[in-house]
Amino acid sequence: MVQPLLLMVLTAALVPLQAQNFALRGYTSELTEVMTLVEREGNSTPAPDSMPTAQDSRDSVFYPGDTERAKPLLRKLVINILLDQKQIWTSPFHMHAGDAPWWIGFGGATAALIATDHRTSTLLENSKAQVKWGNNISKIGATYTLIPLVAGFYGFGVFTDDPKAREVGVLGAEAMVDSLIVVSILKPIAGRMRPNAATENGSFFDRGASFPSGHAIEVWSLASVISYEYGHTKVVPIVACALAGVVSASRFAARQHFASDIVAGGAMGWFIGRYVWKTHQDHALHPHEGLKAHFMPQFQPSSRTYALAVTIARN
């Protein structure tokens, strides 16, 4: 039981990436970013001689000029993936008090599921027809299915000049690559045997490939990007999450993963997608994700002076 708990702690530490986005950007840099967008909106990335020498939060944002041409897009995509991986794997060292409810809750849920995995894995009849159905449905969340999907978003955005669809294609691909890298590293470390293994099913550090679920982490990372990109609508996020949920359930029905494998993969995928979208989105396309000004009058009776305090914060 000690080994699964150690792995659970490692996995849980990688989940609360939602707070890391704010650690990357202070309110001052956000205000500067918004003002710069007025000048840069619709233009490509500035010429090399005008680029700042130091790393700036705006450098990781995908502007229209980056996503319309292959060379700057691929260059920034590779750089951003490297930056993402640095933030993901060092996130345990950037924990804040606000992160505690996330990783404690997630760690506790994962531990509870691991402890009951053998019992829950027998809740279904596990017939051949059920396993076949689960394997067929889970193809929706396979990499070879998701790649054409994000390519379709990008292609649609290019040909119809739809920046939001183009952004989904770019950020969705980045989130999927980030998720694929994470799961490719965690699976060999966990080494958990699948539920359908002939012997020692569910055991950790036994050269298995069950924990976490690769389908779940990839499909939920893409669902997260789509949900945040089209968060101003009601239908799109529901459909995206519903499809991700169907794929996750199908992996359980196919006896390819335990419940804890799917929950861990899905949670990591969701927060990776959220982190990618919030870090690299073009804020000019998302006024609802901009900054909000709070005004507070101030008055000093002794000096008979008054002033107006302005606080800039994210909506």
Question: What is the chain's mean pLDDT, rounded?
Answer: 80
Q: Is residue 294 part of a domain?
A: no
* pLDDT tens for each residue of 225-245: 999 999 988 899 999 999 999
* Helix, strand, coil percent content, the chain, rounded in steps of 5: 70, 5, 25
Residue with tokens 């998302």: 286
Is the predicted pLDDT of residue 69 greater than 90, yes or no?
no
Whole-angstrom Cα distance, residue 245 to residue 1?
29
Q: What is the pLDDT of residue 300?
A: 61
Residue 14's nearest CA partner among 262, 263, 205, 182 is 182
Q: Is residue 144 part of a domain?
A: yes
Q: Is residue 78 part of a domain?
A: yes
Is the predicted pLDDT of residue 30 greater than 60, yes or no?
no
Q: Is residue 280 part of a domain?
A: yes
SS (H, E, C) 101-145: HHHHHHHHHHHHHHHHHHHHCCCCCCCHHHHHHHHHHHHHHCHHH
Q: What is the pLDDT of residue 67?
A: 76
Residues 6+ apart with CB under 8 A from 64: 41, 42, 43, 44, 163, 282
Q: Is residue 305 part of a domain?
A: no
* Count of domains forming the chain: 1
Residue 289's nearest CA partner among 301, 304, 277, 307 is 277
Domain that holds residue 187: 2-44+58-286
Q: Is residue 160 part of a domain?
A: yes
- What contacts 24+ positions apart, CB below 8 Å, involve 77-81? 77/170, 77/173, 77/174, 80/174, 80/279, 80/280, 81/174, 81/177, 81/178, 81/181
Whole-angstrom Cα distance, residue 307 to residue 298?
5
* pLDDT tens for each residue of 240-263: 999 999 999 999 999 999 999 999
Domain CATH number, residue 68: 1.20.144
Cis (ω within 30 of 0) for the bond into 52? no
Q: Is residue 116 part of a domain?
A: yes
Cβ–Cβ < 8 Å for 224, 213: no
Q: Is residue 51 part of a domain?
A: no
Is the predicted pLDDT of residue 34 greater than 50, yes or no?
no
Q: How many CB atoms lie within 10 A of CB 176?
A: 25
**Which tokens in the block code for residue 216?**
């779940």
